[in-house]
Amino acid sequence: MPPKKNNFILMQGNEAVSQGAIDAGVRFFAGYPITPATEIAEILSNKLPEVGGKFIQMEDEIGSIAAVIGASIGGIKSMTATSGPGFSLMQENIGFACITEVPIVVVNVMRGGPSTGLPTSPSQGDVMQARWGTHGDHPIIVLSASSVIDAYFNTIKAVNLSEKFRNPVILLLDEVVAHMRARVSLPPKDEIEVIERIKPTMPPEWYIPYENTLTGVPPMASFGDGYRYHITGLIHDERGFPTSKPDEIKRGFLRLFEKIEKGFREICEVRYYKMDDADYCIVAYGSVVLSAKSAIEILREEGIKVGLLELVTLWPFPRFAFDKILNAGIKGIFVPEMNMGQVYREVVRVTERKVPIKKLNKIIGELITPMEIIKEIKKF
């Protein structure tokens, strides 16, 4: 019997996001065309109807995320995709999804900014906006992708986390990852873990939509299933009605954060590359990971032991990974980013500068190259 051949296909990053969404069970997409994320909407406009899903092109990004929230409340896994200017327009409704605990996925393919910025060029300038873009104190989950296959699997992960924790999840790509093409092999559909939101099992009259459970995640009834409950962007009690009682406000807020804290280890993912004997550590995410790996190979040929800490989860910030590399005796940390140092500041915060930390920032709409990384590493 001949050996089984891998089913390799040529796939673009945005195409991988689209396929990952389909395989994770997304059946509703509302969006508005915007470079460099438009291919996601274009592909899903064709693919969703083939699997019984719905695609709607909205009048703008505000309408897009409002429609996505509504579809999720109706029980459908829902997603939208955008870039910088559209992501800004979505912030108020992202806050609404946070306080009402509606699971949605927002893919932000980052481009140069602010404002219209550099529409066709890569950037990583939205990292802090993804965490703090909407007003108020709130938990959020933010993932990144550094390759085409990453875009596929991390889209699935984003959908699963949103459903499990009843929380918006943001997936950050940059223009390079979104538009690069690579030969990938996707797993069989029956090997993909797909997580569904917890549904209520009690009679409708017993249902408490925002009750505190052991995990902090209450069951979510779908509108139309016979469970009638109140949803509001106001601070609410466990039954969903607005409240100004201090004890109810505090209890509700603490639960929002505690459900993410309890799932911290499941949510947070990092990858270590050649860190076992590394003297220096590059911290990178997104397409910069590709340049970092190339730089590491060249540096090691020259006898300089460098490794990589790749951040798959950006928020909540994976502090434990830095404790690990510091305990291993690392001599220095280097953070290259296509922004002015947004993750660099977090690295400084969590490491308390126990070792030297250097950064490389590039904001001209061009990818950070391996040689630029090599040049700076040699300055340690």
- pLDDT, one tens digit per residue, over 142-177 is 999 999 999 999 999 999 999 999 999 999 999 999
Question: What is the distance between the alpha carbons of residues 110 and 144, in angstroms, rounded to a whole number?
Answer: 11
pLDDT in tens, 53-109: 999 999 999 999 999 999 999 999 999 999 999 999 999 999 999 999 999 999 999
User: CA nearest 316: which of 140, 161, 88?
Assistant: 140
pLDDT in the model for residue 380: 87
Question: What is the distance between the alpha carbons of residues 296 and 127, in angstroms, rounded to a whole number?
Answer: 25
Backbone angles phi, psi at 95, to 5 degrees: -60, -40
Domains recognised in the chain with CATH numbers: 8-191 (3.40.50.970), 204-265 (no CATH), 272-377 (3.40.50.920)
Angle value at C-alpha 322, between 321 and 326, nearest 5 degrees: 125
Intervals of the chain under pLDDT 50? 1-4
Question: What is the distance between the alpha carbons of residues 276 and 122, in angstroms, rounded to a whole number?
Answer: 31
User: CA nearest 146: which of 2, 241, 17, 287?
Assistant: 287
What are the residue ranges of helices labelled H in the chain? Answer: 13-24, 38-50, 61-73, 84-89, 91-100, 127-132, 148-165, 175-179, 246-262, 264-267, 288-301, 319-327, 342-351, 370-377
pLDDT in the model for residue 244: 97
User: CA nearest 362: which of 379, 332, 342?
Assistant: 342
pLDDT in the model for residue 290: 97
pLDDT in the model for residue 6: 63
Joined together, the tokens standing for residue 180 give: 């690069």
* Number of neighbouring beta carbons within 10 Å of residue 242: 11
pLDDT in the model for residue 7: 82
Question: What is the distance between the alpha carbons of residues 97 and 16, in angstroms, rounded to a whole number?
Answer: 25
Residues in the chain: 380
Q: In the chain, pLDDT over 70 holds for what percent of residues? A: 98
